[in-house]
Amino acid sequence: MSTPKFPSPSTPVSIEGPLKVLLLENIHASAEEMLAAEGFAVERLKGALKPEELEERIQGVHLLGIRSKTNVWEPALAKAPNLLAVGAFCIGTNQVDLKSANTHGVPVFNAPFSNTRSVAELVIAEIVMLTRQLGDRNREVHAGQWRKVATGSHEVRGKTLGIVGYGHIGTQVGVLAESMGMRVLFYDVMTKLPLGNSRPTATLHELLENSDFVTLHVPATPSTEWMIGAAELSRMRKGSCLINASRGTVVDIPALAKALQSGHLSGAAVDVYPTEPETNSDGFATELQGLSNVILTPHIGGSTEEAQASIGKEVATSLIKFVRSGATTGAVNFPQVETPLIPKTHRILNVHRNTPGVLRDINKIVSDLNANIHAQVLSTDANIGYLVMDLDQDVANPVCNAIAGLTTDIKTRIVS
């Protein structure tokens, strides 16, 4: 395992004037409204930023909001000593170097369910579209061509849907599919409660061999990278269809194109790609373009007004709670602490290297300054400790400055 990279601060986080918030990728206005109502200075940009642009723009930013396109890696984090938190206004957090964010003392919050239903509904629509070849018929009639055919078109009732990744989205898809009379199989690396009449398969291959439609709902991780390649596609039933609204790294696109061209698969719906444009004005190319019965969408699985408004509020709420009280509940890369603010106390938040003796050093600082600790909560993970400490007397500034001077310090700030 690589040695974690820690920053070496000697001063507390600098917050002069209103907190600076940078929201990228057209994050819903609901987030801007909530953050601005807190008195924060919010800048909202439409597109994603390339890594080098982010390194430039992140300097001085306290809260960064992104969606799935902005990569937040170590070089950007290293240039943002005042960054308090990152809000991923989506489900996936694979675009953030979570370990680096952790060792820089930056919690990353996401919205784990706000667009779940939107993705599930898109997948259900695509199952019907693929089995009725609606994309092709629609294109033909628009072009003045009347091709009334039944061959290759089927009802979904009684067909088998195989769900790979039976988490939030996968289970929703399964419930909706059963309501249309489909049989549901699922494959997951974790043991999951089967909803309705769905059944788990022991292996991925068992699922692929027994499904008329296969839909992917796994996260982007090393275990899912290219998990559907030529070998897996060849195990799928002849004439079956593949749907990928998970991440572009899960499916080998050239292999999928071959399986479609050979007629082994009768159709596919793809929402996510290994490389996606950063803005709506950039061009896009994939080997799948022009193939019959292939639905291509521009990563819109979670793009409904309902989902985006709800994500905006959910992630903005997490960011505000973290700023105001230090609550890290729901952060995907951080020790979890949430403790109510106590009136007339002064709260210090400290992230430090998880080595023995840090709490002793911090408590010595407090005691040397004759301060009284009203409450102290520490939570740790392999690399860092996160300490929330409420002091009785107004000695927060000198305590905070002294803690930031410890060699083990990563990030320290006063909340109230």
Ligand X SMILES: O=C(O)[C@H](O)COP(=O)(O)O
Ligand Y SMILES: NC(=O)c1ccc[n+]([C@@H]2O[C@H](COP(=O)([O-])OP(=O)(O)OC[C@H]3O[C@@H](n4cnc5c(N)ncnc54)[C@H](O)[C@@H]3O)[C@@H](O)[C@H]2O)c1
Per CB under 6 A, the segment of 141-149, 176-184, 212-220, 275-283 that binds ligand Y is 212-220
Active-site annotation holder among 276, 278, 287, 338: 276
Residue 67 interacting entry, from ligand X, ligand Y, none, C-beta within 5 to 8 Å by type: ligand X
- Closest Cα to residue 388, out of 321, 328, 316? 328
165 interacts with ligand Y by CB under 6 A:
yes
Site for ligand Y in 330-359 (CB under 6 A): none
CB of 12 to ligand X, least distance (A): 33
Q: Which of 116, 131, 333, 383 is in the footprint of ligand Y by CB under 6 A?
A: 116
Q: How many residues bind ligand Y (CB under 6 A)?
A: 31
Residue 388 interacting entry, from ligand X, ligand Y, none, C-beta within 5 to 8 Å by type: none
CA-based diameter of the chain, in Å? 86
Q: Which of 6, 89, 109, 166 is in the footprint of ligand Y by CB under 6 A?
A: 166
- Closest Cα to residue 23, out of 38, 40, 44, 2? 44
What's the rounded Cα separation, in Å, for the pair 91 and 89?
7
Give whichever of 69 and 347 is closer to ligand X, judged by the CB atom.
69
Site for ligand Y in 226-255 (CB under 6 A): 245-247
Active-site annotation holder among 104, 247, 346, 352: 247
Residue 164 interacting entry, from ligand Y, ligand X, none, C-beta within 5 to 8 Å by type: ligand Y
Q: Which of 164, 327, 362, 403 is in the footprint of ligand Y by CB under 6 A?
A: 164
Per CB under 6 A, the segment of 15-23, 217-225, 256-264, 399-407 that binds ligand Y is 217-225
Sign of CA dihedral 254, 288, 187, 236: negative
Q: Is 154 a catalytic residue?
A: no
Pull the structure tokens for residue 168.
């939030």
Residue 42 contacts residue 35 (beta carbons within 8 Å): yes
- Positions touching ligand X (CB under 6 A) are 67-69, 90-92, 115, 299, 301-303
Q: Which of 92, 194, 274, 398 is in the footprint of ligand Y by CB under 6 A?
A: 92
Residue 208 interacting entry, from ligand X, ligand Y, none, C-beta within 5 to 8 Å by type: none
Q: Is 142 a catalytic residue?
A: no
- 387 residue type, one letter: L
CB of 24 to ligand Y, least distance (A): 16
Give whichever of 241 and 395 is closer to ligand Y, judged by the CB atom.
241
CB of 175 to ligand Y, least distance (A): 13
105 interacts with ligand Y by CB under 6 A:
no
What's the rounded Cα separation, in Å, for the pair 82 and 308?
28
CB of 172 to ligand Y, least distance (A): 8
Residue position matching structure tokens 């003796």: 357
For the window 263-302, what string marks contact with ligand Y as x by the rule CB under 6 A?
Answer: --------xx--------------------------x-xx
Any idea which residues carry the catalytic annotation? 247, 276, 299
**Which residues contribute to the site for ligand Y (CB under 6 A)?**
91-92, 115-116, 119, 164-170, 187-190, 217-221, 223-224, 245-247, 271-272, 299, 301-302
